[in-house]
Structure 1
């Protein structure tokens, strides 16, 4: 490609960086769609490129960060692209949520407020400025006071920043927008603090519905960054690897779910979740699929078409900025691009209040799992299982204590129950302890293994 198409209401070309850059950014922030600015592209779309791209990126970021109010960190991204062997700078500007945005030098006045009209920009009138200000989002996380009283500590967050090469100073909290306008720690600070009441739920079910819960974990009550890392580790364990044989008799290592898409879906759910209603993201793991659900639906003003066209509008720009600083996200819209590269639009279920991403496992994995488990159960278990163990397997559901299982079977002698039911079921790989390292723990429970689940299905409703 040796030429871009043409400028429009969402696209601006600049052959070189000029003093008008901040005006162009302000104009896009004040629109309903946002836009893209390309430095190194002539007005006619010809690629001319730029010199010293790395230095130019820093200059552009500083201009936007320091010369525009309210702060728009998290609503823009700056990165280089290669076209025709030349480097250009791409600036992605999202629609702002605290309009009107304005040039710091001129304040909230017609001289400082601009709007994108067609391929140009124009000053906003006083009435336009007043109308935008009256509808400015008041319930953004930055404007909500932290519900936690007393001192907030951020040791975990600071460690993550230091590990990523940041030099911290006394302005650390202010730089991350952790205060409301009246100087109180805000909801962003609450989410990022070492202690809070927010947790990400991870539930695991034995089947394809919610009838048989076998795990119910919560990851949180700590910095949202730390909680995110914990859930990512959990999903890495659950996203099992299997070997796929291709037509050319090649053996390929695959995962149940595309690793990159799964990671991006979780981070998107966490960053874009509406925390103002205190509803955290939820991960649910079924026998045939994994779902990630965030609260809030699509960001107000973002249509489904724009969502699938990867036009990003951060709901929580402060969180987006932190996740980007810590390299959990790369740039605006990059996560959706990676998901849609591996999956179709149909994996998203969008409603007024929720956005669910549903990953069905690879068909080859499900087929291998079915064949492997059935074979193991048929050859190793069916002919050996005692009547007592069969009775135990049939009544197992989710995670249960020994007393619960014993009562369901109507047994009074605990030692007999342990020797004739629990012990052989565990030895045959049908039953497992939830805390295997502490078999005598007061919190010990028992659940069926994959073999046990298949064997229970084999038994059906017959009494043995």
Structure 2
């Protein structure tokens, strides 16, 4: 108990050298603890030196009663603390324990709901911003933002069918086994209602915020900001992009961006050449997808995916939910902040719903021989750092280029004898190129109904596999197929 109580102020510990004359000085912390994961206020300890001063033994029981009464009278809804004594080195301290409250938000009564609500952030009690207050209200009523009706949006049966069809298409694209593809069921209006993407009210179908996010029709649609920085800080940009539209498309575009920017080598398996990225790409995709699925959509910020010389950094707006801790996440515990989005993403094979993501990321990084990823809950955001092989970062690119150059001639010679593994998306692009080799990337995208970034990703991949080659300039050249379809 002593080590835990006297290790310094934190998200759930605060010290007071004595009981303040004005109870408001510690009442902010009381409501902040009740609105969060709970905590303890320790009276009789110097918050600067952590020296145990102790409380006056002659009046200590009156002090305990005063603290209990002040908390009961000052807070709304009522908070009932556990107030106990503890003797250390012949000195007695008062420990006030505040449990996480089920009736959030808690606030200081004489300040009112808006001005009197506080939350705990980075070891201090802060006034709750508007979006924090809204989430506390929803949480106290056992409601979720993504399940709430999107009142400004009107939809019809064609809109609903369009979303259902697109979700099934993505689910099939993200499934590799033909038997599993065949087993994917259709999404229907009733399923969307069950998931919370739609609501039914007096026979009328109403879209929720989840529907708006999945179709890109939110009034202020969040985006994913991606960037590459020189060095290990955000001082110098090398490149940056921002992806908008439906959130499931943002996941794929941000993932492709990372693949384009990190180093890639190759290995030979049998007669096949296989691209090998410096980071486990399934884990990279999982990080981005988790950030989108579990972020706080009430907070106005955007997800940021940043690539530094030593790490990939994914930052998601919103602190961890009150019952979630980093320790629990590592052990596989998960609590859904956006259950409707999680249901949709799980169906589309974008995420797993049951908390397996973080343990799998840690395992894959270990198998890659990488430093253990860092999980950080800080200042209103949640961040994961996936570390690169820093000591090799300066030579990886050169080594990759040299390997490619030395194998180009051999690969070209055996192209007609070697079968290159192509995906369905690869085949679709190659078919368009075969029909019209002069098309630009933008024109190919228009032909397929894809984004230009998606086309660029597959073209670059097939160029590295030496399945195609660009002859001439990007505007006046043409595509040459190096393989037979």
TM-score (structure 2 length as normaliser): 0.44
Flag the structure with higher helix content.
Answer: 2
Q: State the TM-score, normalizing by the size of structure 1.
A: 0.45
